[in-house]
Structure 1
Amino acid sequence: MNTALFLSPHLDDVAFSCGGMLARLKARRWRIVLATVFTRSVTHPTGFALACQTDKGLGPDVDYMALRRAEDRSFAARMGVDQLIWMDLPEAPHRGYHSPGALFAPPHRDDDIIPTLEEKLSLLVDEVRPDLVLAPQALGSHVDHVQLVRVLPALNVQVSQILWYRDTPYAVRQPYAKPDLSLPEGLRPLAVNVTAELPHKIAGCVCYRSQLPFQFGGEEAVAPILESFHQQEAADHGQSGHAEVFLAGSTFEPEWRGLL
């Protein structure tokens, strides 16, 4: 059985960005491992960190990350994820990024998350031994996405084993956003038809109810936004139907293209 390791900065990124691919691989009997990096509960948040939950209608007494982990668990159950991993690292607002602007600026020099992140991901890769890794491109430049992407070269994973997904809904709002400069040179787009999987993806996305008003404008908007977006992604790459688009290395295994 082939194993796919989906790396998610936050508790929703894989669902929104490449849930169609996840459903497609699962239907082809791949073992699915979903690992989310920044999942730690922080008691008594203040300032901007607290605002990140109160602006979603959640009071200060709510354990925001526990709520989101429960949503992630619901997604995993709905999608048939075989192994769900939370890496228990703190999100950027708990690491000195104290404003919306700071989240999308270059990483702080005193953000010391990289060594811990590298150690945890290295152990994970050695344990899972994935045939395929799906990782973000860091479109939109959210610092948590950037830090995850910048650790990848240190892992025991070949470029030929990685697909970089288009971070969504950043890709919806910023269709011409560029991947982080740390991605390897010579990558090329791979458009994967997910028309058959799109209803399953949408059903998985709505599991993250706390995020839907902020990210999509409400649950009722998820389906039309994703249907339109993935239809445009397909058209931009000369396809009909709906596509999720990835970046792949020039040595990405040709037989996987047939599978995908």
Structure 2
Amino acid sequence: MLLSPHLDDVALSCFGALAGGVAATVFTASPARPGVLSAWDADCGASSSRDLMAARRAEDEAAAALAGATARHLGFAEQHHRDEPLDVAALTAGLADLTAGAAEVWVPAAVYGNPDHATVRSAAFAALARAAVPSVWLYAEYPYHVYLTRSGEDLASWFARRVPSADPEPVVRTLTGGELARKRAAVSCYASQLGPLDRTLGGRLLDDDLLGVEYAWRVRRG
């Protein structure tokens, strides 16, 4: 079970763990009001956030199929699409139900402080505190971990300060050959998001040395 804040985070960040798993994305709802257009959605070339979210859900289904995974959409609205505060209790309860009985759960680390990512991490930890899940991992979100290291921060030091329950050193997975090609194909399904994301990395989003390296930390339980 891999928890994804937004509809591209798992494919971008921990594709190596995705095959045969369930990618459960939290923020998948269209805005309740018509006419909403967030700044990010406008940068993606959209004229309607509602229409864009429908397209993004379809992109996610296509990416999951390429990865050999199952997509689950939990139906909460992301920060820029909601008028009311997020019902964190409902999210936590939903994640507890979703992860009950799972052998392994992957949680976003909220590297670089994206508020939606931090909310999912906190809710997931609250849900998992009451669950007997044998294996819990935190994954560093791409491209956020690149932003962090480019700012001069060391990724392992960041984890040691922010998530002391995690192992001090990451497990680094380097994708090559067919696995990297499959990741690139899956990520390319998120066509609506690629332009703005690519610009944040100076046109290097799909470069092998960035796209092909994934970082995860095992969370110590008990």
In the TM superposition, what is the alpha-carbon distance from 1:160 to its structure 2 partner? Answer: 5.1
1:77-135 per-residue CA deviation (whole Å, 9 max, x = no partner) reads: 11111x32100001001346xxxxxxxxxxxxx84431111011111112xx2211111
For structure 1, the 5+ residue unaligned runs are 97-109, 231-241, 252-260
Q: Which moved more, 1:114-123 or 1:178-187?
A: 178-187
Other-structure match for 1:134: 106
TM-score under structure 2 length normalisation? 0.82
Q: Structure 2 CA distance, aligned partners of 1:14 and 1:162?
A: 15
1:173 and 2:141 matched: no
Q: Structure 2 CA distance, aligned partners of 1:60 and 1:149?
A: 28
1:66 and 2:47 matched: no
The aligned runs of 1:235-254 (5 Å cut-off) are 243-250=213-220
Q: Structure 1 CA distance, aligned partners of 2:190 and 2:125?
A: 30
3-state DSSP of counterpart to 1:117:
helix
Q: Structure 1 CA distance, aligned partners of 2:125 and 2:89?
A: 13
Other-structure match for 1:38: 27
Q: Structure 1 CA distance, aligned partners of 2:54 and 2:112?
A: 26
Aligned pair partner of 1:213 in 165, 188, 195: 195
Q: Which moved more, 1:180-189 or 1:169-178?
A: 180-189
Q: Structure 1 CA distance, aligned partners of 2:108 and 2:49?
A: 32
Aligned pair partner of 1:91 in 73, 78, 94: 78
In the TM superposition, what is the alpha-carbon distance from 1:208 to its structure 2 partner? Answer: 0.2
Which one has the largest radius of gyration? 1
Other-structure match for 2:206: 223
The number of residues matched between the two structures is 209
Any conservation in 2 of the 1:193–1:244 contact (CA below 8 Å)?
A: yes
For structure 2, the 5+ residue unaligned runs are none
Any conservation in 2 of the 1:137–1:180 contact (CA below 8 Å)?
A: no
Other-structure match for 2:135: 161
In the TM superposition, what is the alpha-carbon distance from 1:163 to its structure 2 partner? Answer: 1.2
CA RMSD of aligned residues (A): 2.7
3-state DSSP of counterpart to 1:167:
coil
Any conservation in 2 of the 1:68–1:208 contact (CA below 8 Å)?
A: yes
Any conservation in 1 of the 2:30–2:81 contact (CA below 8 Å)?
A: no
3-state DSSP of counterpart to 2:38:
helix
Identity level (%): 31
Q: Structure 2 CA distance, aligned partners of 1:140 and 1:14?
A: 16
In the TM superposition, what is the alpha-carbon distance from 1:203 to its structure 2 partner? Answer: 1.0
